Structure 1
């Protein structure tokens, strides 16, 4: 089995002979999935390639390198070109970079105001605006005006998803998903460590208290009654151990009373106050079925063996080095990618 990729640009396939290298990064929810591809530019592909052209990427393995086609590969990405970068030197190559269909909403200021709109109304409007198929769960709570002032469209959607207890992302099939988190608990791969050449991965683990939360506050604004529902739960032992309070605020639409909010706060605190073990590494060979928030097992890693969630997966394929994955993992299910928010919204001009 040999790794192969097809880069489809505006419906036309780039020839394998012109392909040099590819990197596709898949992250959890808020951050856009992105790609970077380097091509042979001997035939002046750079004259044809343009910003905003649609790109579909297919990746996988084939049995017969002389007879294969796109149907044998996995469709792993759909998005648009953000930049075309030809290099006129001895190599004569062209590099294209881009992001998935959330990229326009990440870059665009929210400009429409409503007096009587729900979260799902806004999700449906933005799906229609960008030609995405809406997979939107209907909601009743009306959106407060402060939710969209001076914010990007994607930031508004993520904030609304938080309030409803939802997640929001764009799929490779050009769907805008706004609804409950899909709870798939089946492992999609196993990373095995063995001294010598038999390992299929290299992982460095980190067991620390950096991401541990010792206080959770649950809030819900009931628009009709102009009432704030709020309750907190904290772990005093962890606070004394850590020497500080590390609080996370969660907006839960189902918290309609202080008592219900307290129940959610107690439940979330148990999850967030667990000691977080993270890891990062590489795996050989690459697996096109790996995706962010998927579950993987680690074997022969002592007390670090077990099940982990993928925070980030990077698929890297080149003709010189073959196909590998790099990845980040955590033993606690990642939340709605809050760890990416400051990176995206404090560095709006930086796409990568």
Structure 2
């Protein structure tokens, strides 16, 4: 005997419709972990420059780069070397004619005795600066150094905002398209910065400049240079007010071109040396801030300047990966 099929009862969805069921139950929850990740990444990006003092340290670095600009060039270094040659020639003339002048010149004696070490010290300083002309240019080409911390912190805040917005939308079962777009824009900025500013190729120059400037950018070294300058000032004063007069009195025809050049060039020479020493003295602390910026990653075993570009690229890629809905993008053409 053939079995007869029993009629099935209609489901609730058949009676009221699927849309009504969805309206009563509510939309299915959407994945939220991506927005949590965006918030965490944004907090990290904002906290990094704040906790490490990057704002003040980068500002100090920018001030140092700006104030050293008139002196970091081969032409200016050559001018300073010319000044040292002039002083050297004056010393030679003093040694050759001091017996003719016949007086007692305490300041000139100090100058004659100390100038070889002064010249050696100043040559070392000029060598250090001249050797970093290229690296200095690389850092200058990066752009405003003090802006870089903001290019981490501001996208970080945007990512936090996008993450919170996305959590609220997905919590209500709604699409978070706007939040994703906002996060992608922040990620695009982070990815673009190291390439636009050339951080991968230019930032490592900062580590080399730090190594070269470390011996000369100390309070002790600046104080030593200031003492050198005091010796030169005293020598020039004694030359101009006493020595030359005594020499002319005893032998008016004796030529001293080195001394004459030293005295005639003294005004521009002293102005340039005083400016250089002043810039060094004013930026010792700023240099310390740059060194501290480079050592932020020292506990991790590497120097910040060598990997500065990655501080932007890695979080940018992570933010983009978290923001892009790959499955949704794959379904979109089929939905059309």
TM-score interval (norm. to shorter): under 0.3
Q: TM-score, normalised by structure 2?
A: 0.19
Greater percentage in helix:
2
Higher relative contact order (CA 8 A, sep 6+): 2
- Greater Rg over alpha carbons, structure: 2
